[in-house]
Amino acid sequence: MTSRSKKKAQRLVAELRCGDARHDIKASALDHSSPDFEADLRALNPDLVIHTAGPYQGQDYRVARACIDCHAHYIDLADGREFVEGFNQLNSEAQNSGVLLVSGASTLPGLSSAVIDFMSGQFNVISGIEISIAPAHQTPRGPGTIAAVMSYCGKPFKVLEQGRWMTRYGWQDLRIQNYPALGKRLSGACDVPDLSLMPNYVKGCETVTFHAALEAWWEQMALWMMGWLARAGMVRNWGKLTPLFHRMSVPLKNLGSDKGGMHIRLSGLDSNNNPAQRVWYLTAENNHGPEIPCTPALVLARKLVRGQISIRGAVPCLGLMTLSDFADEMTGFDISWEFHD
pLDDT of residue 5: 66
Could you tell me how far CA 37 lies from the centroid of its own chain? 25
Q: CB neighbours of 131 closer than 8 A, spacing ≥ 6?
A: 108, 112, 194, 208, 209, 210, 211, 262, 263, 264, 265
Percent of the chain residues topping a pLDDT of 90: 71
Write 234-240 long-range contacts (CB < 8 A, 24+).
Answer: 235/154, 237/150, 237/151, 238/150, 238/151, 238/153, 238/154, 239/147, 239/150, 239/151
pLDDT of residue 54: 79
Q: What is the pTM of this model?
A: 0.90
Superfamily of domain 2-106+292-323, CATH level 4: NAD(P)-binding Rossmann-like Domain (3.40.50.720)
Strand 175-179 vs strand 164-169: parallel, antiparallel, or unpaired? unpaired
Q: How many helices (H) and strands (E) does the chain have?
A: 12, 15
Residue type, 296: P
Strand, coil or helix: 302: helix
Rounded CA-CA distance 153/238 in Å is 7
pLDDT of residue 22: 58
| CB neighbour burial string for 101-112, b if at least 16 within 10 angstroms, e if fewer | bbbbbbbbbbbb
Rounded CA-CA distance 109/202 in Å is 12
What's the CATH number of domain 109-289+326-340, 3.40.50.960, 3.90.660.10, 3.30.360.10, 3.30.470.10?
A: 3.30.360.10
* Least confident segment among 4-8, 114-118, 248-252, 321-325: 248-252
Rounded CA-CA distance 54/299 in Å is 20
Q: What is the pLDDT of residues 32-68, one digit of tens each?
A: 888 889 998 999 999 999 999 877 888 899 999 999 9
Q: Where are the domains of the chain?
A: 2-106+292-323, 109-289+326-340
Q: Return the DSSP state at 110.
A: I
Q: If you average pLDDT over residues 225-229, what whole number do you get? A: 93
Q: If you average pLDDT over residues 194-222, what whole number do you get? A: 95
Q: What is the pLDDT of residues 83-133, one digit of tens each?
A: 999 999 999 999 999 999 999 999 999 999 999 999 999 999 999 999 999
